[in-house]
């Protein structure tokens, strides 16, 4: 290879500036380096704009035999997406002109091997006597093999294998980078609704395919610069740099909801899903983790709002979270410290007002807030590990009071509400059997109320448990029947003994033809199946009279008595 002046290009003259050994030894060492398959040496004369390259670089770049080595061929060697970055490094070194050393790694197409390679360039500026850059002397090394494992580890740590999207780690890192650059950022957090049902019915492979199709559909919606990631199983997040206004993200959320409405085809079957969206923002110099936490709070608020909802984070959500956390800690103390008490609401025979049963209802004697009704703590308690412990305590307390009345010859059916955790964790029938035996209460003296939500989300274990409870003689009441999605087939499938008419049908039964017809149909349905029926929420004599005329035999409500401590109920008996 000759340079632009026609002189033979030699390596040792331009590269070696110092040596401690004979020239032959230096040349041998240099030749060994030049013969290395993954190493190439180059020398660029900045004043003459000439370029010398070692044989390995000639092979790497694909310079035609006998052709000139030039900077143009070098830039063609660098991958197009990496050229601007490499140019910035070189320009920065020339502009600084202090140490004169720089390193840069880039992708390049090795024409000799016909593959994309990762190349590391290490270069040194050589200055003239006026201390101006005169030459750039450098080394190319193919580090593809060395970097392959690191690249693989980086990918596994930062990307979701299933969808190819960024994962939460990369999302957090890039969001923090934006905020550290004193730029704001917005976050949209999407959780799919219906994904688990697809996986359960069509299999995990179908669920995975649904996630991939969702990722592709979301990608098409996003503006330039947005980062889409899959953060958890059915959760996706979008980070939008330089965004601090709610309206654009609300509009994007609406577009996301619209995209999800379009049916997916999985295994030649149409699949319909929806989603909930939480939106949050972070100011410059903010914290990426706080931004994601805010988005999760907004998402939880959207899920509580119902189908296909979107919510923007408000500081009140975090305040409410702290309150729930405090309440959760208090709950544990309350359960272990016996701060709970059972109140009892009478259930009466409508024909003569005789008390025939009582529903046991939880009350919490909070040390700071006083007596708390169930609505203030049950939503939190249902998801607490304390639910099973407290639920079993309710059964034991109610059975003990029922057994006391039974021994006195005044039998009263004690109704209790159970938590879903008591069914899911197993052993409920055995626990009830032990309690009945220990207290001496006959099985028919205990009525267990279950809601349609428990039944709808059930499996064969629930049915088996209910059958076991019926075999003990316990009564089984279907609470709030007709207010949700329960089907009539459930009345055949489960061993129900009583239907409870919800208060919402009783409130206007004396003036609403629709409510009157619904309750009448429920009473006829109960008679057909041989169920008992109880109307809840009776507050006026007018309501009670209509129910009597329709054939409803039992009821409960403020007309007959509010929930009261045991001593007050006992006095009424």
Q: How many CB atoms lie within 10 A of CB 120?
A: 17
Q: How far is residue 408's CA from residue 61's CA, in Å, rounded to a whole number? A: 101
* Residues sharing a CB contact under 8 Å with residue 277, sequence separation 6 or more, in sequence order: 188, 189, 190, 253, 256, 257, 299, 302, 309, 310, 311
DSSP assignment letter at 159: B
**Catalytic one of 191, 234, 536, 554:** 536
Q: What residues pair up with 312 in beta bridges, in sequence order?
A: 279
pLDDT value, residue 214? 94
Q: How many CB atoms lie within 10 A of CB 254?
A: 13
Does the predicted TM-score (pTM) go above 0.85?
Answer: no
Within 13 Å, how many C-alpha atoms sit on residue 369's CB side?
Answer: 14
Virtual CA dihedral for 519, 525, 527, 532, nearest 10 degrees?
-70
Given a contact cutoff of 8 angstroms between Cβ atoms, the answer to whether 414 and 446 are in contact is yes
Q: What is the 3-state secondary structure (H, E, C) of 64-132?
A: CCCCCCCHHHHHHHECHHHHHHHHHHHHHHHHHCCCCEEEEEEEEEECCCCEEEEEEEEEEEEECCCCC
pLDDT value, residue 35? 59
* Residues sharing a CB contact under 8 Å with residue 296, sequence separation 6 or more, in sequence order: 189, 278
Low-confidence ranges of the chain (pLDDT < 50): 1-21
Residue range 534-555, pLDDT digits in tens: 999 999 999 999 999 999 999 9
Given a contact cutoff of 8 angstroms between Cβ atoms, the answer to whether 254 and 310 are in contact is yes
Q: DSSP of 340-407, one letter per residue?
A: EEEEEEEEEETTT--EEEEEEEEEEEETTTEEE-GGGTHHHHHTSTHHHHHHHHHHHHHHHHHHHHHH
Concerning whether 536 is annotated as a catalytic residue, the answer is yes
Q: How far is residue 209's CA from residue 206's CA, in Å, rounded to a whole number? A: 5
426 phi/psi in degrees, rounded to 5: 80, 165
Q: DSSP of 249-311, one letter per residue?
A: HHHHHHHHHHHHHSPEEETTEEE--EEEEEEEEE-TT--HHHHHHHHHHHHHHHHHH-TT-EE
């Amino acid at each position: 290879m000759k340079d632009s002046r026609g002189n033979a290009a030699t390596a040792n003259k331009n590269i070696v500036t110092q040596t401690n050994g004979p020239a032959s030894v230096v040349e041998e060492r240099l030749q060994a380096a030049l013969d290395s398959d993954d190493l190439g040496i180059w020398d660029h004369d900045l004043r003459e704009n000439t370029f010398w390259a070692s044989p390995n670089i000639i092979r790497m770049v694909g310079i035609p035999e006998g052709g000139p080595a030039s900077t143009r061929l070098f830039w063609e060697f660098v991958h197009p997406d990496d050229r601007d970055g490499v140019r910035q490094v070189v320009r920065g070194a020339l502009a600084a002109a202090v140490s004169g050393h720089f390193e840069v790694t880039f992708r390049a197409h090795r024409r000799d091997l016909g593959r994309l390679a990762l190349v590391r360039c290490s270069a040194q500026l050589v200055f003239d006597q006026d201390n101006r850059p005169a030459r750039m002397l450098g080394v190319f090394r193919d580090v593809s093999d060395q970097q392959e494992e690191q690249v693989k580890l980086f990918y596994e740590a930062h990307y979701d294998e299933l969808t190819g999207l960024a994962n939460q780690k990369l999302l957090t890192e890039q969001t923090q980078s934006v905020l550290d650059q004193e730029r704001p950022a917005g976050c949209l957090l999407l959780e799919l609704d219906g994904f688990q049902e697809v996986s359960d019915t069509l299999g995990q492979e179908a669920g995975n395919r649904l996630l991939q199709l969702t990722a592709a559909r979301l990608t098409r919606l996003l503006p330039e610069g947005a980062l889409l990631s899959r953060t958890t199983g059915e959760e996706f997040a979008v980070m939008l740099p330089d965004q601090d206004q709610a309206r654009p993200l609300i509009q994007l959320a609406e577009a996301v909801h619209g995209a999800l409405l379009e049916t997916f085809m999985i295994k030649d079957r149409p699949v319909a899903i929806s989603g909930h969206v939480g939106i949050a923002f972070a100011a410059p110099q903010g914290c990426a983790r706080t931004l994601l936490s805010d988005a999760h709070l907004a998402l939880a608020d959207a899920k509580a709002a119902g189908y296909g909802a979107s919510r923007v984070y408000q500081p009140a959500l975090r305040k409410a979270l702290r309150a729930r956390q405090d309440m959760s800690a208090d709950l544990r103390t309350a359960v272990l410290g016996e701060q709970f008490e059972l109140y009892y609401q009478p259930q009466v025979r409508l024909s003569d007002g005789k008390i025939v049963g009582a529903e046991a209802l939880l009350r919490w004697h909070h040390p700071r807030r006083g007596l708390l009704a169930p609505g203030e703590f049950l939503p939190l308690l249902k998801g607490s590990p304390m639910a099973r412990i407290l639920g079993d305590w309710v059964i034991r307390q109610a059975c003990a009071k029922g057994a006391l009345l039974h021994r006195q010859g005044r039998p009263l059916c004690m109704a209790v509400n159970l938590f879903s955790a008591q069914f899911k964790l197993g052993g409920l029938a055995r626990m009830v059997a032990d309690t009945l035996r220990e207290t001496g209460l006959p099985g028919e003296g205990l009525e267990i109320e279950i809601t349609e939500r428990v039944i709808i989300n059930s499996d064969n274990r629930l049915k088996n448990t209910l059958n076991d409870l019926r075999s003990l003689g316990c009564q089984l009441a279907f609470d709030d029947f007709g207010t949700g999605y329960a089907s009539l087939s459930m009345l055949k499938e489960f061993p129900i003994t009583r239907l409870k008419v919800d208060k919402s049908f009783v409130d206007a039964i004396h003036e609403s033809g629709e409510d009157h017809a619904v309750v009448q149909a429920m009473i006829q349905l109960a008679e057909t199946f041989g169920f008992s029926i109880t109307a809840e929420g009776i507050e006026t004599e007018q309501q009670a009279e209509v129910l009597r005329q329709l054939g409803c035999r039992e009821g409960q409500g403020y007309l007959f008595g509010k929930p009261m401590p045991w001593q007050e109920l006992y006095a009424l008996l």
